[in-house]
Amino acid sequence: MAPDVRRPVDRWLLLFALLLMAVGMVWVYSASGLKSSTATAFLVRQLVAGFIGIALMLALSQADLGRLRENPRLLQIAFGVALVLLAAVFLFPARNGAHRWIMLGGWQLQPSEFLKPLLVVVTAWWMVRHQEAWTRKEEAIPKLVTLLAILAVPLGLVLKEPDFGTTFLILFVCMLVVFLGGAPRWIFAVLVPTLLAVGTAFVVSKPYRLGRVTSFLNPDADPLGKGHQAIQSLIALGNGGVVGVGVGKSMQKLNYLPEAHTDFIFAVIGEEMGLLGTVTVLALFLGVLWRGFRIARRVRDAFLRLCAVGFTLLLTVQAMMNMSVVLSLAPNKGIPLPFISYGGTSLMASLAVLGLLLAVSKETSA
């Protein structure tokens, strides 16, 4: 049972996230100046998204997620709305070969960003709702298969967009929630190899996906093509050294590094602020991880505990995925850096996840 008296939100978590957002505003402006006739155009859009996101965060921080455990009707409605929005993206023209956005005037909405916390809550609810089944093999398998089937519907739509990076992130975090939620460990001996096989088949089924993997393994084989981003990213980080070349003075953002203001903004930070800048960003995300796990450890309700773990992992695992791509430790997946990369939907969704995590923080014990 949740405590009767709700505590204040975790102020350290809020501070770390808002500092990351501030870093994002500075480097969205720095990295996108040459991409618009008006130097502040991208910054203004990001600021507007930030204000909307903060309002959403404040609203969600007042939510009582514990009510979903006994009355999941709202969860079912949200799931249905998510499916409609995910299907609606295919009614709009593709951008860069992908159907990921709903166009609203001059703005874009990416439904898959808001799907992330929803599926975490669905998974947490399922694990707690059927917690007695996990101790009996004859019940555990059908329950897990049913959960995977539920997740497969929206994830299948995301994969069709196509967006393999977001699909992988959601599935990875949800499976960690399943693992921490008490599912028998032997299930993962079967599940993990199966998912790896399916993922491998998906990658090799399309030449461009396989090309991303091969270019990651050997970017110098095609330095002006598939390996260009990885090489330019490493050059940017190398140019930065320990203290960087100074804010606004990056050379790689001048049409050398593609997507400098979005997926590869961490490389621009590394060039302009050096190792000190990148370590600071990493430390802030580790701070989010610390406070998120602290919240999960101190909350009494099992459902809220799993939600807190899932929300924390959504933010930090995504951050590690993005940084790994920038450092050429992983193939490019088109994953933005939470709170920092340019993109209104990404920023609003990150702040929404933060708001939900703050709501859980109110339920922690002393």
CA-atom Rg of the chain in angstroms: 21
How far apart are alpha carbons 264 and 242 in whole angstroms? 19
Token pair 């980080």 is found at 237
What is the amino acid identity at position 33?
G
What is the amino acid identity at position 108?
Q
- The pLDDT tens digits for 238-297 are 998 999 999 988 888 887 888 788 889 999 999 999 999 999 999 999 999 999 999 999
CB neighbours of 212 closer than 8 A, spacing ≥ 6?
A: 226, 331, 332
pLDDT tens digits in sequence order for the chain, 366 residues long: 444 456 788 999 999 999 999 999 999 998 886 665 556 888 999 999 999 999 999 999 999 888 888 888 999 999 999 999 999 999 988 887 788 989 877 778 899 999 999 999 999 999 999 888 888 777 888 898 899 999 999 999 999 988 888 999 999 999 999 999 888 888 788 778 887 887 777 777 767 667 667 767 667 666 666 667 888 888 989 998 999 999 988 888 887 888 788 889 999 999 999 999 999 999 999 999 999 999 999 999 999 999 999 999 999 999 999 999 999 888 877 889 999 999 889 999 999 999 999 999 998 765
pTM of the predicted model as reported, rounded to 2 decimal places: 0.91
184 burial level (CB within 10 Å; 0-12, 13-18, 19+)? middle
How far apart are alpha carbons 19 and 15 in whole angstroms? 6
Beta strands 107-109 and 102-104, pairing class: antiparallel
Tokens of 238: 């190398």
Parse the chain into domains and list their residue ranges.
14-361
- The pLDDT tens digits for 141-182 are 889 889 999 999 999 999 998 888 899 999 999 999 999 988
